[in-house]
Amino acid sequence: MNRVLLLKFGELFLKGKNKREFLKLLKRNIVSKLNGIEFNLVETQGRLIVCEYDVEQEDEIVEKLQTVFGLIGVASAIEIDTLLENIEKQVKELDFEGVKTFKVEVKRADKAFFMTSMELERHLGSVVLGKNPHLKVDVYKPQVLVNVELRVNVKTYIYDKQLPCAGGLPLGSAGKGMLLLSGGIDSPVAGYLMSKRGLKLEAVHFHSYPYTSVQAKEKVLELAKEISAYCGKIKLHIVSFTEIQEEIHKNCDPEYMITIMRRVMMRIAQKLCEENDCGAIVTGESLGQVASQTMQSMNVTNAVVTLPVFRPLIAFDKEDIMDIARKIGTYETSILPYEDCCTVFLPKNPVIRPTIKRAQILERRLDIEGLIERAMQSKEVVEILEG
């Protein structure tokens, strides 16, 4: 008898060549997540199994596995050789204290076993009732669901609880994107959601030191660290926006200031994408949340880049974004009061419906190429390790 962790992944994507790729990545990501812990990982038809670990470390391992994208559930299970007497013995030993109703559910991938799933369910149900006469079977809403899985490796797995994992697709299965990471609530959530769809992340943060503080930068480092628990290691590019912001402030109409700032941010993000093999830009924008997040504003900012811009929060309410931020553990850091570069010299009435034409005219007053080149030279790179 062994204690193992049974891992489940969405079957939906398990087709042909994709399946091999998916599993290869998933396994690599699990191994990387459990770095430093002794264990073995085996694959048997439709399941991955973590075994040969120290039971004392099981909680820690489960917690880490729950952050692996591509897994949908993890169950701590007993592994035994597939023999009826072994299975009977195990279900007899289950603890039903304080429990009133139960159900046995059998999955029989091992078709060689002499009983059908239904026969075995009934049989094991009566074994449980024999040992625990106070129990009743409830096939619809049992308090305890005893899962018995007979796998093709001639092993049987028994468990009664499955914990949810992060879902989504294995990290890296969708390539790599560049996240525009501010110190706010939205962009870390946007990064998390894109990683959930398989996108690995690099990130860029713009600061306006000395207008913005050292703490503002540290806050962003902390946020990157927090999302790395899900998103894996992140190369964070920290770029000075000070001169750009001063020049825009000096030369452009105040109501277009944010529009032009965003256009410069996008251009730099695209440059970084090209240099670092990223195929998309990711932002935390949400339709209508502020003046710079109207359809027209996004059109004007998109116009300076050719790569796709992923805005996973586009249709989310702030409340819903905050819920996810709490769930992934970034909320408390995000609400720390350090200012973002976007709030420096903030105009009173930013334009709600900017036009590309007007933005282009105003930008002629700036040496955009030179500004971008100097900002790129200011770049500092921090490697955030997988959390």
Residues engaged in binding ligand ATP (CB under 6 A): 180-182, 184-187, 204-206, 283-285, 289-290, 292, 340-342
State in angstroms the smallest separation of the CB of 242 from ligand ATP: 11
341 binds, among ligand ATP, Mg ion, none (CB under 5 to 8 A by kind): ligand ATP
State in angstroms the smallest separation of the CB of 342 from Mg ion: 5
Tell me which residue has its CB nearest to ligand ATP: 184
Helix axes 257-276, 368-377, angle to 10 degrees: 60
187 binds, among Mg ion, ligand ATP, none (CB under 5 to 8 A by kind): ligand ATP
Q: Which is nearer to Mg ion, 261 or 371 (CB)?
A: 261
Q: Would you call the peptide bond into 133 cis, given omega within 30 degrees of 0 as the criterion? A: no
Amino acid letter, residue 81: D
Q: What are the E-state strand segments in the chain?
A: 2-9, 40-44, 47-51, 71-81, 101-108, 136-137, 144-150, 155-159, 163-164, 176-180, 200-207, 234-240, 280-282, 309-310, 380-384
Give the other-Cβ count within 10 Å of 278's Cβ: 24
State in angstroms the smallest separation of the CB of 261 from ligand ATP: 8
- Calculate the dihedral angle through the C-alpha atoms of 132, 138, 144, 150, rounding to the nearest 10 degrees: 90
284 binds, among Mg ion, ligand ATP, none (CB under 5 to 8 A by kind): ligand ATP
Q: Which is nearer to Mg ion, 160 or 186 (CB)?
A: 186
State in angstroms the smallest separation of the CB of 146 from ligand ATP: 45
Q: By the criterion CB under 5 A, which residues form the site for Mg ion?
A: 182, 184, 340
Q: Could you please report the per-residue DSSP string of 74-95? A: EEEEEEEES-HHHHHHHHHH--
Q: Which two tokens stand for residue 86?
A: 């072994």
State in angstroms the smallest separation of the CB of 263 from ligand ATP: 12
Q: Which is nearer to ligand ATP, 158 or 181 (CB)?
A: 181
Q: Which is nearer to Mg ion, 142 or 350 (CB)?
A: 350
- Residues 191 and 202: their CA atoms lie apart, in Å, by 9
Q: Which is nearer to ligand ATP, 156 or 182 (CB)?
A: 182
